[in-house]
Amino acid sequence: MTELAYDVAGHGPALVLVHGLASSRRCWDLVIDDLSTDFTVYAIDLPGHGDSEPLPGAAVATPAMFATALGEFLDRQGLGRAHLVGNSLGGWTILEAAADGRADSVVGLCPAGLWEPIHRPLRAIQFNRRAALATRRAIPTIMGIRSIRRQLMRSGAERTSSVPYRIAVDAAFAQADASGFEAAHDGALHARFERATEIPASVPVTIVFGDNDRLLPAPRFQQRDVAPAHARWEVLWNCGHAPMWDVPRVTTELIRRTAAA
């Protein structure tokens, strides 16, 4: 059993935020204050990311394995189920957790896994990882130069000028320090989400993609028939791979609407 690092804020029904590959719980900082007015918000670090240790003895870490770790986390908090929100690999993770019976509602923000299985590393993801590792000591300085920060954030955000300095710095450090990057990356290859029919129609599901997602662009990585048949599908205007950065208010309203359903 792997202990997951987390932050908790607010009062109300439990809502868990799950980040993507080579990210951390800090990626949700722009939406936590808003959500915590209506929910008890748990922002977690997946195994091998942020402050969480990797899965013990796992050379490959699949989204299903992360979903099991998420379920164990819920049990430790005394929660059998919760409203689940995930971005990218975190979106795939919460879909697996929903199929495990762990979700009161699901919001997948640009979720991975809704694709024909990929067999080669995605270039943009590999570039971001190498760049973060190579420049780790200089990250605060580099991200302080606005033009460079905008360029480096383009793979994740469409409205790069609105991404705050501290969010950019945290994202770069998370890329560099993700000890579980290789295991999680390899766990997503040669596979896709296959359990849509196991998510009950009584569990509201919203799938959200930005209209200019550079990491998982349509149509190859956004196949609606892989998602649950009852899922609501939203495409957000002028938005990239991280809606919680590009359109934080729209993101929180979609979460509230789905939870209320």
Q: Does domain 6-120+181-260 have CATH number 1.10.150.120?
A: no
Q: How many angstroms separate the CA atoms of 178 and 169, rounded?
A: 14
pLDDT digits (tens, 9 = 90+) for 198-255: 999 999 999 999 999 999 999 999 999 999 999 999 999 999 999 999 999 999 999 9
198: its two tokens: 């196991």
Under a CB-based contact definition with an 8 Å cutoff, are residues 168 and 143 in contact? yes
How much is the average pLDDT of 47-58?
A: 93
C-alpha distance from residue 64 to each of 110, 227, 232 (Å) = 18, 16, 23
pLDDT digits (tens, 9 = 90+) for 107-122: 999 999 999 999 988 8
pLDDT digits (tens, 9 = 90+) for 168-209: 999 999 999 999 999 999 999 999 999 999 999 999 999 999
